[in-house]
Structure 1
Amino acid sequence: MAGSTVPRRAFGRFLRTLRGDRSLLAAGLHADTSKQTVMRMEEGLPTKLSTPQLERLLDFYQAGSIERAEALELWDEVRRLAKAAKDQGTHKGWWQSYAGQYGTWFDHYLKLETGARRMTSHQLVLMPGILQTSEYRRAVINATVSGLSAVDIERRLELAARRQARLTEDDLHLDAFVSESVLLHQPGGASVMGEQLQRLAELSERPNVSIRVVPHHVGMYPGLVVQSFTLLDFPPTTSRLVEPPVIYTEGPEGALYLERDDVIARYRQAIEGIQQVALTEEDTRELVLKIAKEYAA
C-alpha cells in the first residue's frame, strides 16, 4: 500500500471534522503554519507539517484523549507509508512520469484508482479504460485528441497498460457493467474490436474481475438515468477508519468526484438495478465471444 493516498485522505477528513467551524486561518496561526497548509492536509495532499505542529492543532481543536490518540495513530501511518513510498521511489505516484499525457483533473482519479479495493464501473458507449486494449485505446486517442506526436501517443498507451496491470493485483476487485452498445461500436474497425472482445473474455476469467453486459432488450433500466460512472471503494486504514467511497464521472471537458452520502446511496441503488438486468458472467462471455467471432469473419 506504499504510495496510497487513502490513509492521507482519511487523516485529512478526520482533522476537518475536528476543526469544526474554526477558520483555516486561525488553525494555521495556532500551529505556526499557513491556512493553505492546513487546507492541503485536510484535502489529503502532502504537507510539511511537523508532529509538534499537529499537536498544537489538536490543542486548538480541543481534541479529547481518544480523538488525539486516533489522530496521532493516523499521522504515524501517513508518515510510515510516505517513507516506504519514498524508499521505493513511488512517493510521487508512478503516473507522474506521464503527467503531460492526461488532464489535471485525471491525476486525482489515478490516485484513487491506485488505492481502491473495489471498483464498480457502468459504461454506456466505450469500454472501461482499465479494460481497453492498446489498439482500441489508440483509436479513442486519435478520435479525441488531434495533433499528438507518435511519441505522445505511445506514452498514453503505456499509461493505459500500466493502469490495466492493476487487475493482476488480488487486492482490487473490478465489477464492470457495459451496455451491449459498447460491444457493437467499432473504434478502430472490426479487427480492433474483435481483438478487444477477445481480451475482454480473457480478463473475465480472472477471479477478481466480473464483466457483465446489459442487453438492449431489457429496455429502461437505472443505468440509462445515471449513465456512465465508476464507484471506488477503499480498504480501511490500519487504524480501522474507513475512507468514504467516491463516484467518478467523466465528460469531454473534465470530471466530477461525488462523495455525499445521499449521492453514493443513489448510485448504489442504481447498481442494484443494473445487476438485476445484466447477463450473468457466463452468458456475457458467450455473447462477447460470439460477437468477436463475427468481427473476425
Structure 2
Amino acid sequence: MPQRLVITERSHEPRKRFAEELRRLRGERGLSLRELEREVGWDSSLFSKMESGGTLGGPEVVQALDQYYGTAPLLLTLWELALGDPTQFKEQYRRYMMLEAEATSLWQYSVSIVPGLLQTDAYAREVLSLGGYRGKELDRQVEARTGRRKLLERQDDSPPFRALLSEAVLRTPLRDKQAWRDQLEYLAEAAERPDVNIQVLPYSAGLSGLVSTDVMFLRLLDGTTVAYTENAHRGELIEENAPVEQLQRAYDAMRDVAFSLPESRSFVLRMLEEVPCEPST
C-alpha cells in the first residue's frame, strides 16, 4: 500500500500560513533576521513584521525571497492568497468578501466615499481611522482593503466593474491635499481601463431610491445576483431575489440620469484641477 501522507499542523488561514512558511524557510537556513537582510537586501524589520503576520510586504520583496530560497513561485502564490484572505475582515464581511472574489461582474453605488475597490492607501487609511482603527490593526485593515484592488488589476480575468458615484463622493476631500489629488488621479486612471466604468450622479439629478445607502451588486457564477448594502454603522448581504431586484431598479433609475462615461471622467478631472498643488520644497 502507498504510504499515507502526513497532514501538517500548519495553519489553513492564508495569511498565517504565509508567515509560517517565511519563518520555516529562514529557520531551515539558520539565518538571523540581520543575516537575511544582508542576503536579500530589505530591512530586517520588514522581515520581522512579515514573519509575525503584521504585514504581507510587497510583491518585489516576496519575489526576492522566493528567488533566494529557491521556492518560486510558492511564496508569491501564498502572498496572493493571503492578500485576498477573507479572515482579514470582520466576521460580518467574510461571506461577502468570498463572493466578491468569485463574482463575474460587479456594480456599485456610493453615496459619500470612494468604493473600497478604488481607494488608494492614503484614502483607506483616513476612512478606517475615522472608524476607530489604530496602530497595527489600522495597518492591517488598510492592507486588507487596498489589497482588494488586485481584483480589478488582474491582466486577463478581472471582472467588469461599474461604479456609480454620487457627486458628494468627489466633493468630499481628504485632509491631506496631496493624498486627495492622488485619489482623484487614481480614479481618472481607473476610468480608462476597459473593464472599469465610472459614472457620476450629479446633485442636479435630485433625490434617488438609494439616497442614503451604498450598495454593491455581485453577479455570481451560477447566474444569480446578490447585493450588499452598507451605511456608516452596519452592512447586510441580501440574497433573496425580490429585494435584490428592487435595489437594481433603483440603481438603474439613477444610472439613467447620471453623467455619461466621458462626462464623468471630465468631471473627475475638473475636480482634480480644483485641488491646489502643494508648494515644492
Coarse TM-score class (shorter-chain normalised): 0.5 to 0.7
The count of aligned residue pairs is 199
What is the aligned partner in structure 2 of residue 224 from structure 1?
211
Partners of 2:99 and 2:218 within 8 A in 1:
yes
Give the TM-score normalised by the residue count of structure 2.
0.65
Partners of 1:214 and 1:279 within 8 A in 2:
yes
Tell me if 1:201 matches 2:188. yes
What CA distance in whole angstroms lies between the structure 1 residues aligned with 2:263 and 2:114? 18
Tell me if 1:111 matches 2:91. no
Q: Offset of 1:186 from its aligned partner?
A: 1.6
What is the aligned partner in structure 2 of residue 291 from structure 1?
271
| Runs (5+) with no aligned partner, structure 2 | 1-76
| Aligned amino acid, residue 112 of structure 1 | L
What is the aligned partner in structure 2 of residue 139 from structure 1?
126
After TM superposition, what 4+ stretches of structure 1 lie above 4 angstroms from structure 2? none
**Which structure shows the higher helix fraction?**
1
Q: Offset of 1:275 from its aligned partner?
A: 1.3
Partners of 2:125 and 2:142 within 8 A in 1:
yes
Tell me if 1:273 matches 2:259. no
What is the aligned partner in structure 2 of residue 264 from structure 1?
244
Partners of 1:178 and 1:213 within 8 A in 2:
yes
Q: Offset of 1:230 from its aligned partner?
A: 0.5
What CA distance in whole angstroms lies between the structure 1 residues aligned with 2:225 and 2:186? 29
| Aligned amino acid, residue 269 of structure 2 | L
State the structure with bigger RCO (CA 8 A, min sep 6), 1 or 2.
1
Matched position secondary structure for 2:173: coil
Percent of aligned positions that are identical: 25
Equivalent positions of 1:44-193 (< 5 A) are 94-96=83-85, 99=87, 101-146=88-133, 148-149=134-135, 151-169=136-154, 170-193=157-180
What CA distance in whole angstroms lies between the structure 1 residues aligned with 2:186 and 2:100? 21
Q: Offset of 1:124 from its aligned partner?
A: 0.7
Partners of 1:221 and 1:277 within 8 A in 2:
no
What is the aligned partner in structure 2 of residue 234 from structure 1?
220
What is the aligned partner in structure 1 of residue 66 from structure 2?
none
RMSD of aligned residue pairs (Cα, Å): 2.3
